[in-house]
Amino acid sequence: MTALPRLHVAVLMGGWSSERPVSLTSGEGVASALEQRGHRVTRIDMGRDVALRLAEAAPDVVFNALHGTPGEDGTVQGMMDLMGLTYTHSGLATSVIAIDKELTKQALVPHGIPMPGGRVVKTAELYERDPLARPYVLKPVNEGSSVGVAIVTAEGNYGDPISPQARGPWQEFDELLAEPFIRGRELTTAVLGDRALMVTELIPKTAFYDFDAKYTDGLTEHVCPADVPEDIAQACKDIALRAHKLLGCKGTSRSDFRWDDERGVEGLFLLEVNTQPGMTPLSLVPEQARHLGMDYPDLVEAILAEALKDAAAAKAKKGAG
Ligand SMILES: Nc1ncnc2c1ncn2[C@@H]1O[C@H](COP(=O)(O)OP(=O)(O)O)[C@@H](O)[C@H]1O
Ligand SMILES: [Mg+2]
């Protein structure tokens, strides 16, 4: 592990996305780890004055601990590009594509990355007819943390067709992504730099892997390394690394999968690539890193080192050009 010089790091967290509480926990974890390693830290809970706060802080590097929109969607990245700041994780263009589950499919499926089919539907259409054969999943195109994910079962759990009165994401969003429901198991793989880390299986104790299951200690069992056949583990790592590279992700990302274990490797589908994966104490990337001998502060510093490396490479290229 390369030792970093003492840096002034602005940790960007909070904001006003639906994942604000998660981001505050991620950000505080990152900030304390950096202080523990002797870096100077400025904590910034993002408000509308974020550009001013960053300009005042004038950090060596920004650690982006935001999740969701805004923060994971390219807006904050574009602002930091204009300000000439060096920051962790993916840049503007990658973030815009990866936050949108439909654009992600358009970018990756032509390259042979297996993702579920389906389509974007106007919410009003749902009340007339099903967009796909049941069972299917409805989810917002660009939210995270399973916010607004509904599984429409063959039994007609929300009415048949869906009733506007039934509580679900259709009340909040004008458009939703409809995907065939992939039965089976839930897997996830982190990428750090140019290496896929491990495969974790998530076994929720609630009906599916929802917001509460993700953030309440004990509600989801993490099996790391996942108890899956070697070809499945290898396929998760290959797909996660290829997706990271195809989208142009920087630093770290985490790819979520469903695996229909009755169909072997043909049953493996990438659901999404998270460009700002959780960094809370319960989070999956820190857990995978720990299994590989990298403790939490090591991981935080490794993510910073990736950002500094990319910034140095960009500067050298500019100098040469
Ligand atoms: N096509 C699908 N088939 C089965 N389960 C799904 C499908 N899409 C989403 N889910 C479930 O919803 C969860 C959240 O979906 P995901 O696409 O990862 O979005 P996000 O994590 O951004 O909310 C998944 O972890 C999975 O449990
Ligand atoms: Mg997910």
The string of DSSP codes covering 204-235 is ESSSSS-HHHHHSTTSEEEESS----HHHHHH
CB of 146 shorter than 6 A to ligand 1: yes
Sequence-distant (6+) residues with CB within 8 A of 143 are 18, 68, 69
How many other CB atoms are there within 10 angstroms of residue 185's CB atom? 20
What pLDDT is recorded for position 213? Answer: 60
Q: Which atom of ligand 1 is nearest to the CA of 210?
A: 13
CB of 60 shorter than 6 A to ligand 1: no
Cα distance between residue 301 and residue 230, in whole Å: 30
What pLDDT is recorded for position 320? Answer: 72
Cα distance between residue 233 and residue 231, in whole Å: 6
CB of 181 shorter than 6 A to ligand 1: yes
Say which amino acid occupies 218: G
Q: Which residue's CA is the nearest one to ligand 1's atom 24?
A: 209
pLDDT in tens, the chain (321 residues): 558 999 999 999 999 998 999 999 999 999 999 999 999 999 999 999 999 999 999 999 999 999 999 999 999 999 999 999 999 999 999 999 999 999 999 999 999 999 999 999 999 999 999 999 999 999 998 876 566 789 999 988 899 999 989 988 888 899 999 999 999 999 999 999 999 999 999 998 766 556 566 656 667 899 999 999 999 999 999 999 999 999 999 999 999 999 999 999 999 999 999 999 999 977 999 999 999 999 999 999 999 999 999 888 888 888 875
281 preceded by a cis bond (ω within 30 of 0): no
What pLDDT is recorded for position 215? Answer: 57
CB of 126 shorter than 6 A to ligand 1: no
DSSP state of 87: B
**Test site for ligand 1: of 271, 273, 275, 283, most ligand atoms within 8 A of the Cβ:** 271
Quote the Cα angle for 47-53-55, to 5°.
Answer: 140
CB of 149 shorter than 6 A to ligand 1: yes
What's the start-to-end Cα distance of the chain, in Å?
31
CA dihedral angle for residue 286, residue 310, residue 241, residue 290, rounded to 10 degrees:
-20
How many other CB atoms are there within 10 angstroms of residue 278's CB atom? 24
Residues catalogued as catalytic: 19, 145, 215, 254, 256, 272, 274, 278
Task: Count Cα neighbours of 217 within 13 Å in the Cβ-side half-sphere.
Answer: 3
DSSP state of 182: -
Closest ligand, as measured to the CA of 213: 1
CB of 287 shorter than 6 A to ligand 1: no
CB of 144 shorter than 6 A to ligand 1: yes
Give the distance (Å) from ligand 2 centre to CA of residue 229. Answer: 22
**Test site for ligand 1: of 22, 149, 276, most ligand atoms within 8 A of the Cβ:** 149
Sequence-distant (6+) residues with CB within 8 A of 276 are 64, 65, 66, 67, 71, 72, 89, 90
For the stretch 289-298, contacts whose Cβ atoms lie closer than 8 Å and that sit 24 or more positions apart, written own/partner, are: 289/190, 289/192, 289/197, 291/197, 291/198, 291/224, 291/225, 292/197, 292/198, 294/1, 296/29, 296/33, 297/33, 297/34, 297/36, 297/37, 298/1
Whole-model pTM?
Answer: 0.95
**Test site for ligand 1: of 101, 102, 115, 139, most ligand atoms within 8 A of the Cβ:** 139
Question: CA 222, 227, 232, 238 torsion: positive or negative?
Answer: positive
